[in-house]
Amino acid sequence: MSDEDVEKVLAHTPKLAGYDVAGAIAPKVEHLCQELGADVARVRRAVQREPRLLTVSLDRLESTACWLTNECGVNRGDVGAILCKQPSVAWSSVDANLRPTMTFLVDELGMSPTAVARAVKRRPSILLMNVDDNLRAKKRYFTDRLGLGEETVRAVLEKNPEILALSVEDSVAKTVEFFARDLGIGGDRAVKLITKAPAVLSLSLERNIVPTIDFLADELDLGIERAIKCIETRPQLLAYSLERKLRPTVRYLVDEFFPACDVYDAVQLVNYSLKGRIIPRVRILRRKGMMSEQALHKPSYVVCMRDDQFQKLAGVTPEEYAVEVARAKDGETKDVTSETAGAR
């Protein structure tokens, strides 16, 4: 850490100034890295964010690590990353804080040991949540207000444990209400959507969901009903960047796939890599004279097929295909205008 970083750490936790670096601090960093699998950069960021991590004794670090591995099923090599992501787990009481949460996840939510380990690894802050005031209330929201069965709730939370870290009133309920009321799809369709894609609940309405729907409905002129249909079919669209993913992929397919690629069809193909799949295949088809007024292959057919199937269709070797992919990823775009003109 820089001198400035050290000053900030000591200002936050003054008692560290009295710690012997070689005898008290270095062994903890070494234990986190060599025994518990964290890298030095991760430990540094954790200490900058929460210097108290370095005040926890080696014995306490190890006992917490043993609890995470023995009772939560976490791999020992993942413990360091967990403690760096959520340092307060290291000094939280197992009996008063951690174990009650673990018991709730297993006994009341019915999560499998594998799912619990995955949840703790992805969102360790879950272990610090109050069971009665927080976790149990969230379970009631899904079962009582959304009408989901307990098996469905378990499946949803196992698939996306991050949802447990969200505020029901400030986040989850607002998202459900937006789909049900603001978009007018009703409660049943809204619940079906989030059951199909729980990750939608973790997305920001302002930064992700609303801009994407506006893009589909207004900029692409699909209208609200077709935009909603796109989202219900491909909910992952809501997580994509407009500038880096959605807009350039749709634009390329509509402009470059000859004789035509409908906007709606283009949206359905956005989950495929533009430079890793779409551009190389369009270029190969164009070079082979397979894009013409009489073209028999629809965009979805060409884009969705496996690499070996496409290579057979286009008559190219795996090596030739790999070269075209590399060209696209390197940003070579000289053929976008000239070859389009030649093909048409």
Report pLDDT for 100: 95
pLDDT of 332 above 60: no
Q: From the CB of residue 274, how many other CB atoms can be counted at a distance below 10 Å?
A: 20
Per DSSP, helices labelled H in 110-239 are 113-122, 136-140, 150-159, 173-177, 186-196, 210-214, 223-233
Report the length, in residues, of the chain: 344
Q: Tokens for 233, please give them.
A: 């079919």
pLDDT of 180 above 80: yes
Mean pLDDT within 249-256: 94
Burial string for 127-151 (b: 16+ CB within 10 Å, else e) reads bebebeebbeebbebbeeebebeee
Report pLDDT for 293: 62
Q: Give CA–CA dist 325/212, Å, rounded.
A: 28
pLDDT of 198 above 50: yes
Report pLDDT for 206: 95
Which tens digits make up the pLDDT trace of 96-148? Answer: 999 999 999 999 999 988 899 999 999 999 999 999 989 999 999 999 999 99
pTM for the full model? Answer: 0.79
Q: Tokens for 234, please give them.
A: 């491909």
Task: Report the candidate in 199, 188, 266 with the shortest Cα–Cα distance to residue 236.
Answer: 199
Q: Give CA–CA dist 131/140, Å, rounded.
A: 12
Domain positions in the chain are 1-91, 92-165, 169-239, 240-344
Q: Give CA–CA dist 120/136, Å, rounded.
A: 17
Q: Give CA–CA dist 1/77, Å, rounded.
A: 24
